[in-house]
Structure 1
Amino acid sequence: METRANYVLIGAFTLAVIAAAFGFVLWFQSLHTTKARSPIRIVFEGPASGLRNGGSVNFNGIRIGEVISVKLDNPRRVVALAMVENKAPIRKDTLVGLEFQGLTGVAAISLKGGEEAAPAVPLDEDGIPVLTADPNALQDVTEAIRATLQNVNRIVADNQESVKNSLRNLETFTGALARNSEKIDGIMVKVDGVMGKADSLMLGLNTVAGGSSGGELSAMLKAIKELADDLDKRTNLLIADGRRTLGDISRAVNNFDRNPSRVIFGGSNNAVAPEPAPARPPAPSAGPRPPAAGAAPRRPQ
């Protein structure tokens, strides 16, 4: 029980700290906003069509604040209270009007112009600055809206027959679609079948092309590359052998031109052949030799 109570206290303290931090941030932000903005009262002597809470306050087209309340002061007077930036150069002669974001947009308070040397905005009885809208500006806005609506009405009236024909064509087209709904369904089924076949074909092409794990086309390209590399190596070897053979033939032809006998008979052409021995002259004839001692005399034939 004691441990559980400690956990409850710790959780409550944590939540309190978070809530206090969150509240401090909101308070600081509101204080900063309050210091950065100040109220201003805008009086419209006539209708203020489209103006509502949350509408923008623009100075020369730039947003400087927003409307926080709109109320009727009397049947012909509308009073709007807005919060605007303190740095906005609003003067007593600043023109006030209404502007719209398109035909159906929310109206925004428009502030324009004013001289830098002009006095500040006069204060109301409660100390809030107050500006009165220019009735002519409001009338200009109303007239612009009316003119725009009249132009739209004129365009529709001038093209009434074309609009009718377009509507008839649209009706005819939708009727044709309704009558041929079954055929259209059949066509869509066929289109679905064609798309399914296209998906299968793309899957097959993906498989052949390799996909994420490689495929037949990848293996084929790899084999072709290996064959080309092998053929390139063999061609280089054949070219080298041919060059060596041509070199040998060229050297043999050059040797044959220089010394044909060496090529035919072999040996070195620089060796000197041995000179033949000189022939010995025959001994001179001296007649018959005398018989040796003890030898029998030779008989005449």
Structure 2
Amino acid sequence: MARASNVVIGTATLAVIAVAFGGVLGMQKWRTIQSRSQLRVVFEGGSASGLRRGGPVNFDGVPAGQILSIKLDSPRRIVALVMLDNTAPIRKDTVAGIEFQGLTGVAAISLIGGAPSAPPVPLDSDGIPVLTADLSDAESIVDTLHSVDRTIVSNAPAIKEGLRTFETNTADLRSKGGEIDSVMAKVDTAFAGFDKAVTKIEGVVPGFVDGKADELFEKVQGLRELADTMKKKSASYLEDIRRSLLDVSETANKMAGTPTPAAAPRPPRKPPQKKQ
């Protein structure tokens, strides 16, 4: 009796645990169902290649649901039923399409935009909201990829030849690495000499390196004016000295009784110049 009682107690305990676990899962599933709603996306006049059941649904790039089913309604009409979060602000002007994620190119249904003031998504005959997808962008991407592929294939010889030429030029540059290093070293030496010369000029003429060209020009102009003034004054002083020596010579000859030889007329005295 005791052993049978233990079996009953254990079985009851396991049953309670199973019921509790099932209740938790059921509650979680019910909450998930309550937080999501169905949306029907219709693809007309194009291909829905890459979409699969269980695939992602993104709203403005953010995961917002998953694909429940995909079926072919007609040769040019594909209908996908998705489960979408209720928080996704779907409106009548929301644009539906296909996007490819990552390097693997996993296809996903893309929902983009929608004005907050726009009316809600129209309902289908069974009460499920329905959006018609715009496949123009996806088809444009596919066409572009096909065009790029055809271009690469048709120009493969030219591309190969260009790569070979690039490899040859790279090898030539690699073989002339020493010469290039030598030229760069000479350039560095030349710039170092230029820096030293500029430093010396700065020591002799302050403000040269700082770009004070106006001050430098004024200083040079002042030196030139000073030199011109000194030249004019020196010429005037030499003329006065020459005249004074002639007067002294005439006076000495008269005192000694020596007739003064006829001399050329002296040039008239120049009026003294005003000092500047």
Q: What amino acid is aligned across from residue 6 of structure 2 in structure 1? A: Y
Give 1:140 shift: 2.2
Q: Which has the higher contact order (CA 8 A, sep 6+)?
A: 2
Query: One-letter code of the match for 2:122?
Result: P
Alignment partner, residue 44 of structure 1: 43
* Pair 1:7-2:14 in alignment: no
Sort the Cα spacing of 1:15 and 1:119 in 2 relative to 1 into closer, same or farther, 3 A.
same
| 2:63 corresponds to 1:58 | no
Residue 144 (structure 1) shift? 4.0
Matched, 1:123 2:128: no
1:89 aligns with 2:94: no
Report the alpha carbon displacement of residue 150 of structure 1 after superposing the two structures with TM: 4.4
State the SS of the aligned residue for 1:88.
coil
1:143 & 1:107 partners in 2: Cα distance?
Answer: 16
CA distance in 2, matches of 1:158, 1:14: 77
The structure-2 alpha-carbon separation of the partners of 1:9 and 1:111, relative to structure 1 and needing over 3 Å to count, comes to same
CA–CA distance in 2 between the matches of 1:114 and 1:154? 43
What TM-score, normalized by structure 2, do the two folds share?
0.54
Query: Following TM superposition, by how much is the alpha carbon of 1:55 offset from its aligned partner in structure 2, in angstroms?
Result: 1.0
Please list the CA deviations of residues 79-113 of structure 1 after superposition, one character each: whole Å capped at 9, or x if unmatched.
Answer: 00001111111111111110012464221001111
Shift of 1:163: 9.3
The correspondence of residues 267-282 of structure 1 with structure 2, limited to 5 A, is none
State how many pairs are aligned: 163
Answer yes or no: is the 8 Å Cα contact 2:92–2:121 preserved in 1: yes
> Structure 2 matches for 1:250-265, cutoff 5 A?
none
CA contact (8 A) 1:98 1:141 kept: no
Give percent identity, aligned residues only: 54
Q: Which amino acid aligns with 2:52?
A: R
- Asked if the contact 2:100/2:107 (under 8 Å) is kept, the reply is yes
SS of corresponding position for 1:96? strand
Structure 2 residue runs without a partner (length 5+): 165-276
Residues 93-149 of structure 1 show CA distances to partners (whole Å, capped at 9, x for unaligned) of 111110012464221001111111111000000000000011323322322442454
Residue 72 of structure 1 aligns to which amino acid in structure 2?
Answer: L
Q: What TM-score does the superposition give when structure 1 sets the normalisation length?
A: 0.50
User: Contact 1:57–1:67 (CA<8 Å) still a contact in 2?
Assistant: yes
Distance 1:154-1:136 versus aligned 2 partners, 3 A rule: same
- Secondary structure in structure 1 of the residue aligned to 2:42: strand
- Pairwise mapping of residues 19-34 of structure 1 onto structure 2 (< 5 A)? 19-34=18-33
Aligned equivalent of 1:189 = none
The structure number with the bigger radius of gyration is 1
Ranges of 4+ aligned residues in structure 1 off by more than 6 Å: 161-164
Residue 10 of structure 1 and its aligned partner are, at CA, apart by 1.2
Describe how 1:1-301 pairs up with structure 2 within 5 A: 2-45=1-44, 46-102=46-102, 104-147=104-147, 149-150=149-150, 153=153, 158-160=158-160
Q: Is the partner of 1:66 in helix, strand or coil?
A: strand
Measured in 2, the distance between the counterparts of 1:48 and 1:3 equals 66
**Partners of 1:162 and 1:14 in 2: how far apart?**
77
User: Residue 5 of structure 2 aligns to a residue in which SS?
Assistant: helix
Cα 1:159–1:126 change in 2 (3 A) is same
SS of structure 2 residue aligned to 1:51: coil
Residue 151 of structure 1: CA displacement?
Answer: 6.4
Measured in 1, the distance between the counterparts of 2:163 and 2:21 equals: 59
Q: Report deviation, 1:78.
A: 0.7
CA distance in 2, matches of 1:107, 1:152: 25
CA contact (8 A) 1:103 1:145 kept: no
